[in-house]
Each structure stands twice: as structure tokens, then as C-alpha cells.
Structure 1
């Protein structure tokens, strides 16, 4: 685990690699959470998280699903690879001026029942299930999330 100072250096100098989860419920609705953390704080965004150094993609997927959704078991092999995306933000996790955050994102689509209890409220202040058209029409859904549905 990196110290905050070391992580700040990484964010300032290099792109981060992450996994985003495009979660649908069987009624074509997409799960979004209102972010508590920077970057993209207070916007609605699909769940996701960074991949740690030396962490396999399978282990990262399981950890991110658990940390972001509170779902105990999910395998990357049961999700559909959605594509590689690039996300750039003007700010960073600490709000330090002078540099933003750059992510290379591996997006995976997966389905969960809309009745499955979902949530990790340390990560998101709330969750909503939205149809893609609803998501695209809202001003409070982040552009990087909208890009998955254009």
C-alpha cells in the first residue's frame, strides 16, 4: 500500500489503471452511485476502482465488486468486457492544485438483480438505477459515465 505522499506522486506523474462496472438489472437500467470522493465528487458515476500494483485482474475485479457494491462474490469471467476508456479529470483525490488525474479504464458489463441489496455508503452517498436515456439526459451524471452509453 502506498503512502498518501507516494500516491500523490504517482497521480501527478502517471496514469492509473482501473476497472469500471457497467451494472444492469435485467430491465435495461444501469446502476450509478453518487461519488463521495474526488475526482468527480458529487456526480453520479458507475461503480469502479483502481487496480493495485501486483494485483491480478481477477483479484481486482472481485475486490472492486465487493468494495463498490458490497457483493460478496463475482468473477470477472462472468462479466462481459466492455472496452478500454480514457478518463481525465482536472482535480485529484486530495484536491491539490496544479495537476489532475488520468485513468486508463477497463470497463466490464455485468448484471445484478435490481432487488439485490447493493451499496457501500463509504464510497457513494446514494445509488440509483437509470435507463441509458435517463442517464444521458441528466446534468449530474458525469460525462465519463455518459460515454459508456453514447
Structure 2
């Protein structure tokens, strides 16, 4: 599916008025889980699971594969759907939006081969972390990891 850009004006209208449907990925390798240090709001500066909005007419499984490819430069196999979550953020990338509301569908995935993960422009870094984690996990990340069966502490 070809990526369809959304104008800044349309994106602002969406963020101000409706929840954003997205997919978030628990990418598990033999060494641990992949997290990216976010460069933008919400969760700027946090180590977070890769994720992104679902595009119009895009199947969820295709969104999972696209997000893995564009955010990590990886191909993945879907292990299972974790479920539907709700994320309420106080900050947003849109002025005067009064925060951001996401309805992400979580997926537990594995890379299809040995991959060197590469960060996209939304992340300062991407790395693989194994429990026990040396930093506090964001509560939303912790929920995903627990549901995927990854020990969190």
C-alpha cells in the first residue's frame, strides 16, 4: 500500500477532534525487546515501543509490517495480537489540541532474520533491551511488555 500523506491542517483537525487509531509493536528478539527513544510528542524523550497510525484502507497486519519497515528498517512476523489499548496524553504535536488520544492495537512480533535496527526521524536512537531494565519503563510500555509475556521487574 502506498503511504498517503495527510496535510498538516487535516492532521490538526484529526488530533483536535478524534482518537487516532494506531498499531504499537513489541518487537522481541533473542536478546530482548526493541525500544526507540522518541524525538517528538507525545512521550518525547521516553524509550517507547515502535508504532504508528493506521492509514485509511490499510489492514492492521499491513500497518504492523509498514511500521516495522519504516521505523526500524526491519521485517517482522506477527506472533499475536495483544489487544486494544487507550492512551491519553497531555501533550500533542498540534498546538491547542488539549493533548492526544490514541487507540492503539498492540502486536507481539519477531524479526524475520538477524536485523540491525535503524532509527527513523522520530527516534534519537533504537536499541534492544533485556530485563531487568536499567530505567523506568513508561506505564504504557510496561503494559505492552506484560501482555506479551516479557518480564518487567
Q: Which has the higher helix share?
A: 1
- C-alpha distance in structure 2 between counterparts of 1:113 and 1:138, whole Å: 28
TM-score by length of 2: 0.82
SS in 1 for 2:13: helix
Q: Deviations over 1:90-148 (max 9, x none)?
A: 01123x145111111111111238951111331211122223431xx623x32211222
**C-alpha distance in 1 between matches for 2:10 and 2:84:** 26
Alignment RMSD (CA, Å): 2.1
Structure 1 unaligned regions, length at least 5: none
For the structure 1 residues 145 and 98, does the alpha-carbon distance in structure 2 shift closer, same or farther, using more than 3 Å as the test?
same
Mapped pair 1:91 → 2:74: no
Q: Within 5 Å, which residues of 2 pair with 1:29-68?
A: 29-68=32-71
1:149 equivalent in alignment to 2:140: no
Q: Where do 4+ consecutive residues of structure 1 move more than 6 Å? A: none
Partners in 1 of 2:97 and 2:52 — Cα distance? 23
Q: Say if 1:62 and 1:74, in contact at 8 Å, map to a contact too.
A: yes
CA contact (8 A) 2:37 2:125 kept: yes
Report how many residues are paired.
142
Report the alpha carbon displacement of residue 46 of structure 1 after superposing the two structures with TM.
Answer: 0.5
Aligned partners of 1:113, 1:128: CA distance in 2, in Å? 17
Choose 55-64 or 38-47, whichever is displaced more: 55-64
2:111 is matched with 112
Residues 83 and 37 (structure 1), Cα distance of their counterparts in 2 relative to 1, 3 Å cut = same
Unpaired runs of 5+ in structure 2?
Answer: 147-153
